[in-house]
Amino acid sequence: MKRLWAPWRMEYILDENKHRKCLFCDVSKETKGRNNRTRDRKNLVLYRGKHCFIILNKYPYNSGHMMVVPYFHTPTFDGLSDDVLFELIKTVDKSVQILRKILKPDGFNMGLNFGKVAGAGMESHMHIHVVPRWTGDTDSMPIIAETRVMPEHLKKTYDKLVKSFR
């Protein structure tokens, strides 16, 4: 049996804040007040649409790893109206276009995980992962040195991207 070690995930596993009622619902409600941009930066929210928002993943697999999240709390597509589903996919497309322009990746991984056994870290609130990929962005570091090399700090990536979403 082969093992793939992912020690960078330990920070996520031990993060006490992830046990809140629903991280996505909590973050989506933090919109009131004049310090909205400050709260959004703290929470890594890049964009707020009518039915969904975009947030950078605090524990990314790659620079620019973001999630498109509907405001409506559901573990799957159940309960999402056609308007929400349409905006969800259009927002994924918007994310890809901006990532292409700003970070210039060679490709993308996108995914949905429904249920804990499918790998959902936030199984109660569905979201779509958009992960930019570059040729040669994975190497032996995670396996040999148990270290994920992130070429840019999360806040710097946020600052680069947020301007294009405004």
The answer on pLDDT for 153 being more than 90 is: no
Q: Which residues are CB-contacts of 152 (< 8 A; sequence separation ≥ 6)?
A: 63
| Alpha-carbon distances of 86 from 22, 80, 112, rounded to whole Å | 23, 10, 16
d(CA 61, CA 55): 14
Which of 6-15, 21-30, 75-84, 93-102 has the weakest average pLDDT?
6-15
d(CA 69, CA 55): 8
CA dihedral sign, ordered 152, 156, 160, 165: positive
The answer on pLDDT for 122 being more than 60 is: yes
Q: How are beta strands 52-56 and 107-111 bridged, if at all?
A: unpaired
d(CA 121, CA 113): 8
8 A C-beta contact, residue 15 and residue 149 = no
d(CA 110, CA 96): 10
The answer on pLDDT for 18 being more than 70 is: no
d(CA 121, CA 13): 9
Assign 121 a pLDDT band (cuts: 50, 70, 90).
Answer: confident
Q: Which two tokens stand for residue 68?
A: 């498109």
Tell me the β-bridge partners of 67. 55, 129
Which residue segments constitute the domains of the chain, with CATH numbers given? 21-165 (3.30.428.10)
Q: Which of 65, 125, 127, 129 is catalytic?
A: 127
Catalytic annotation present for 127: yes
**What average pLDDT does the chain have?**
83
38 versus 76: which is more confidently predicted? 76
Assign 33 a pLDDT band (cuts: 50, 70, 90).
Answer: very low
Task: State pLDDT tens for residues 39-98.
Answer: 899 999 999 999 999 999 988 888 999 999 999 999 999 999 999 999 999 999 999 999
Q: Which two tokens stand for residue 21?
A: 């009622």
